[in-house]
A and B are shown apart, each in its own frame.
Chain A
Amino acid sequence: EVQVVESGGGLVHPGGSLRLSCAPSGFIVSSNYMSWVRQAPGKGLEWVSVIYSDGKTFYADSVKGRFTISRDNSKNTVYLQMNSLRVEDSAVYYCARGGQWRRGSLYFDYWGQGILVTVSS
């Protein structure tokens, strides 16, 4: 059975750092593209970042230069390192598995339950 589990959220001060982990079961992270998607309280979904099987990474403009997505194949885990955090980064962060890759297609077939990140002084 496929499951996606996030961890590492919590309360952090503005300017601080946090690392989220995504440790799925039932599939190998390096065989799929993986994304982080966030949702601020009462707001819609916002795509954050993606890492492809070949290691290529892409970021939303709102987090570029501050967040880094990475993957540890030996631990079958995907990470989101978040630096220089801002109040507006507060959200539930979802880790999501990408579907079958083909050019022009980006979709997510399995999602974690989400982890809350609160940035506040």
Chain B
Amino acid sequence: QSVLTQPPSVSAAPGQKVTISCSGSTSNIGNNYVSWYQQLPGTAPKLLIYDNDKRPSGIPDRFSGSKSGTSATLGITGLQTGDEADYYCGTWDNSLSGGVFGGGTKLTVL
């Protein structure tokens, strides 16, 4: 049971837009910054978004992040088959005094 809640799976057609939600509480998302990671099959996670809505260099602007209250959202526009992967949100949890991740969301591009 993950501290942060993500939908197990989402799907959309190529070229479309998809959003992935990440729900937490005031001890984590509500008072800290959220990051998002993409994990392609058989590879290490890759940072997509940090501090809620910032993209590292090299990450296309098709990927966006936002936060409102105790929830965060990852948006992906112009879906490509290469976007098929598992996506994770993460943050710090003040009550646990540690990092936490969501359970992950599998994106299928139909």
- Residues of chain A having any CB pair with chain B under 8 Å: 35, 37, 44-47, 50, 58-61, 94, 96, 99, 102, 104-109, 111-114
Separation in Å of the A79 CB from the closest CB of chain B? 18
Place the interface of chain B in its size category. 20 to 34
In the A-B complex, the 8 residue pairs with the closest CB atoms: A47-B99, A107-B35, A104-B32, A44-B104, A107-B50, A111-B44, A106-B92, A105-B33
Closest Cβ–Cβ distance, residue A36 to chain B (whole Å): 10
Q: How many Å from the CB of A104 to the closest CB on chain B?
A: 4
| Mask of B61-102 contacts with A, CB within 8 angstroms, 1/0 | 000000000000000000000000010101110001111111
Contact present for A105 and B92 (CB under 8 Å): yes
What are 23 of the A-B contact pairs (CB < 8 Å)? Answer: A37-B45, A37-B99, A37-B101, A44-B2, A44-B102, A44-B104, A45-B37, A58-B97, A58-B98, A58-B99, A60-B98, A61-B98, A94-B44, A104-B33, A105-B50, A106-B35, A106-B90, A106-B91, A106-B92, A106-B99, A107-B90, A108-B47, A111-B46
Interface residues of B (CB under 8 A from A): 2, 31-33, 35, 37, 39, 44-47, 50-51, 56, 86, 88, 90-92, 96-104
A109 and B45 CA atoms in complex are apart in Å by 9
Point out the residues of chain B lying under 8 angstroms from A35, CB to CB.
99
Q: Let me know if B47 and A107 touch, CB within 8 A.
A: yes
Tell me which residues across on chain B come within 8 A of A61, comparing CB atoms: 96, 98
Selected from A104, A109, A111, A113, the residue in CB contact (under 8 A) with B92 is A104
